[in-house]
Amino acid sequence: MAKIWFITGSSRGLGRSLTEAVLATGDKVAATARNPQQLDDLKTKYPDTLYSIKLDVTDHDQVVTAVSDAVRHFGRIDVLVNNAGFGITGAAEAYTQEQVNSQLATNLFAPIDITRTVLPYMRKQRSGFIMEVSSLGGRVGTSGLTIYQASKWGLSGFSEALAEEVAPLGIKVTCVEPGGFRTNWAGDSMEYAADVEGYEATVGKRSEYFRSGKWVPLGDPDKAAQVMVKLADEPNPPVHLVLGSEAIAILGNVNTRREEEMKKWLPVSLSTDADDADKEQFLSTEFAKRFK
């Protein structure tokens, strides 16, 4: 039976690649975008399986309407993909409050809102798959991307906790964490804060690199889309799925450094237990067992 997908940010980048890949399988897509007319060519090609919806993901009322409209049109939602988002580069102190609010609203609050809106339908179905598109930046901190990465770290943490919460309901959750992919993330989708004196060697270099157009990511969004299509049929999907050899290499190095740092400071970490703390008793609790 054909699956029903609800995909945000479907008009370009990874969202566009994924929408095309899903439609090619015969599945159906409720494709949302700020400018749904950008999907007119796909609507012509797939008139019965593509349902385009105008959606500003930061508008809660529009979210509720879009989700209910998709369910009314197709009858259910089997796969939710929260893909919409954008990047912003600058020093943490340089962003305007509007830039901070906009970044968090789009990249973090919106996917949480959409997920919470779709969950009651999936809970009643006792089935569903939620893919939250985070980033390598949801696992690794990089100068110049503090607010972007704050949003993605939040989304990765939300996804991990949610996966445990909804598993008994037959709902699966995967946080997709791509490295660099050949989309317009560092192009039209990238915004910048004003330059601030003192950050030339860190933030300045990153901004210059992105603006130069010299960054050529390794990742192919069409290949990522194919992975996500196959993932929807996986009976035991990962909670975190890192995409791209660049991301794997960077994350491996960062994990090694974190492990070394934790071991170096382990005596300090352990020194803060209460004098009467019973470590063995705690490790036997149901709470602690979840992390084994």
pLDDT, tens digit, 9 for 90 and up, residues 173-196: 999 999 877 676 656 667 888 888
Q: Alpha carbon 127 to chain centroid distance?
A: 21
pLDDT over 80 (residue 288): no
Could you say which of 95, 121, 135, 152 is catalytic?
152
Instruction: Determine the Cα–Cα distance for residues 86 and 110; give it in Å rounded to an integer.
Output: 12
CATH class of the region 4-243 = alpha beta
Instruction: Determine the Cα–Cα distance for residues 291 and 30; give it in Å rounded to an integer.
Output: 37
Q: What token pair was written down for 147? A: 């607010």
Radius of gyration over alpha carbons of the chain, in Å?
A: 21
Instruction: Determine the Cα–Cα distance for residues 123 and 171; give it in Å rounded to an integer.
Output: 8
Q: Is 152 a catalytic residue?
A: yes
Q: Is 134 a catalytic residue?
A: yes
**Helix, strand, or coil here: 81?**
strand
Q: At CA 99, angle to CA 94 and CA 102, rounded to 5?
A: 155
Could you say which of 51, 95, 121, 148 is catalytic?
148
Task: Residue 113: count other Cβ atoms within 10 Å of its Cβ.
Answer: 18
Q: Which long-range contacts (CB under 8 A, 24 or more apart) does 230-236 make?
A: 231/129, 231/131, 231/174, 232/3, 232/5, 232/78, 232/79, 232/129, 232/131
Sequence-distant (6+) residues with CB within 8 A of 182 are 216, 217, 219, 220, 221
Q: Is 156 a catalytic residue?
A: no
Mean pLDDT (the chain, rounded): 91
Give residue-wise pLDDT tens across range 97-118: 999 999 999 999 999 999 999 9
* Residue 258 confidence class, pLDDT cut points 50, 70, 90: very high
Could you say which of 10, 17, 52, 134 is catalytic?
134
For the ranges 17-31, 79-93, 198-212, the lowest mean pLDDT is seen at: 198-212
* Residue 208 confidence class, pLDDT cut points 50, 70, 90: confident
Domain boundaries for CATH 3.40.50.720 within the chain: 4-243
Task: Residue 250: count other Cβ atoms within 10 Å of its Cβ.
Answer: 18
Tell me 262's DSSP state.
H
pLDDT top residue among 199 and 292: 199
Average pLDDT over residues 252-258: 94
